[in-house]
Amino acid sequence: MANIGIIGSGNVGANCAFFVAEKGVGDVILHDIQSGMSTGKALDMMEAAPVRGYNTRISGTDDIEDALRADVLIVTAGAVRQPGMKREDLFEVNRKPVSEIAARLAGTDHKVIVVTEPVDLMTALFVRDSGLPRGRVMGLGGMLDSTRLRYLIAHELNVAMEDVAATVIGRHSSSMVPLENYCTVSGVPISHLLPPERVEALFEATRNAGDLIVDMAQRANAYYGPSAAACDLAEAIVRNSGRICPVSIVLTGEFGLHGVAMSLPAIIGRNGVEQVLEPQLNEEQTSRFVTAAQELQQILGTV
């Protein structure tokens, strides 16, 4: 059975561990810089195993090297947003711990899922400081955004969520690019089911979904949704499933862009990102995508 290492045992990290265990993806090794947090949460979740019926093992450690020996690494470490904060406000706070983790993985064959915000900037930073091939480091951005849009479409139409497909690319921020022509319900384009103003309203709700949760919860940002999405991505790697998921990846020529990380659909397998897919974009979508990349390049240029 594969081992899943999770760096950071806060709300996102702990829920990742729980979802991974329940789905039987692999054994989990939790780590946190706060002494005892990961071991305590791991024990709590294992005591729930007889009730929930999972046989996977969750263990905690205060030694990061234990977690780094895992096959797949999920990075959730770092500060979380407070009401009124933008994701990029966390860059200076979180880049040092993420950079230190990345440096420890130089020369390894790890597959890394970056959840720490701002996820696109952290994904690019992780590739730079680890030296890992870009396909082995993927950020959660577009997968989470697409999951949120799937829920909103299903809720709007009162249909089963498993029948809804949606794709969101670009930056994990209000600059994200939902692709209407890749959003369907059991194969039927949403443009056939909803008027343009309702489609745009759903896209706008998706752009604001993370901010809304932070504003409503006050003391916590989203964690169930990100944890579930990270678990699905880890499962796609471990099972070598070939699923197509929008993930943040360092661009090496896609749409003429280089060096920044943003979400595009990708085939996920045992090596991480096996292939990046370039969707067909109209002029407006291309402009939004390129503009978001330029914004990220400006921020990275200060590092």
State the average pLDDT over residues 42-64: 96
CATH 3.40.50.720 range(s) for the chain read 3-141
pTM for this entry:
0.94
pLDDT of 300: 82
**259, 297 in Cβ contact below 8 A?**
yes
d(CA 45, CA 177): 37
> Average of pLDDT values for 258-276?
97
Q: For 14, which DSSP code?
A: H
**pLDDT reading at 259 higher than 80:** yes
Instruction: Write the pLDDT tens digit of every residue in 235-255.
Output: 999 999 999 999 999 999 999
Q: How far is it, in rounded angstroms, from Cα 237 to Cα 303? A: 31
Q: What is the pLDDT of residues 74-99, one digit of tens each?
A: 999 987 767 666 777 788 889 999 99
Q: Is residue 155 classed as helix, strand or coil in its secondary structure? A: helix
Q: Which of 82-86, 142-146, 227-231 has the lowest mean pLDDT?
A: 82-86
> Lowest-pLDDT range, 33-42, 208-217, 221-230, 282-291?
208-217
In the set 31, 110, 155, 172, the catalytic residue is 172
Residue 165: which pLDDT band, with cuts at 50, 70 and 90?
very high
The class level of CATH for 3-141 reads alpha beta
- Burial class of residue 193 (count of CB atoms within 10 Å of its CB; 0-12, 13-18, 19+): middle
- Distance, C-alpha 98 to centroid of its chain: 15
Q: How many CB atoms lie within 10 A of CB 194?
A: 19
Q: What is the pLDDT of residue 1?
A: 62
Mean pLDDT for all residues in the chain: 93
| Residue 215 clears pLDDT 90, i.e. is over it | no
Q: What is the pLDDT of residue 168?
A: 97
126-142 in b/e form (b: 16+ CB < 10 A) is: bbbbbebebbbbbbbbb
Instruction: Classify strands 258-269 and 243-252 as parallel, antiparallel or unpaired.
Output: antiparallel
Active site residue 258: no
Residues of the chain with CATH 3.90.110.10: 142-300
Q: How many residues does the chain have?
A: 303
Instruction: Determine the CATH number of domain 142-300.
Output: 3.90.110.10
Tokens of 277: 């897919």
